[in-house]
Amino acid sequence: MTSGGKENGLLSEINVVPLVDVMLVLLIIFMVAAPMMIHGASVSLPEATLDPITAEKEPLMITMDTQQRIYINDFEVQFDFLREKLAKILENRTDRMVYLRADKAIPYGLVARVMAEAKGAGVEKLGMVTEPIKTKEKR
């Protein structure tokens, strides 16, 4: 005999164990996959002792890597088309500020040519992205 209930009654509780198992597997998959989603050109920036510049919105970034490839944000651009691509992008923007990230192994002449192309495209302000100088701490 059962105490006060039906013998073949329906169970109204949800079994959450399979749900927790699936969620833990998804969590592990995303934890492993997240670092692989970070992309972009890897550059070794020169060091300088300047104060950082803060931007109100997403800045337009020109990147030059060690193979002398040029990127506008994350999209590769040939040098011959840099000026016209920048001009197209800048015609829809109110601020004409561009940041240049160039690997320190890039020849200065090539960096100067990219800067000239940017100015020719209508860039009003051109900022150079650098790493802060690492100082040795005295004990």
Q: pLDDT 10s digit of each residue in the chain, 139 long? A: 445 555 666 777 888 898 999 999 999 998 888 877 665 556 666 666 655 555 556 778 899 988 889 998 888 999 999 999 999 988 888 888 889 988 888 888 999 999 999 999 988 888 888 777 776 655 4
Residues 94, 122, 51, 138: is their CA dihedral positive or negative? positive
Q: Which domains does the chain have, with CATH numbers?
A: 47-132 (3.30.420.270)
Asked whether the whole model's pTM tops 0.85, one would answer no
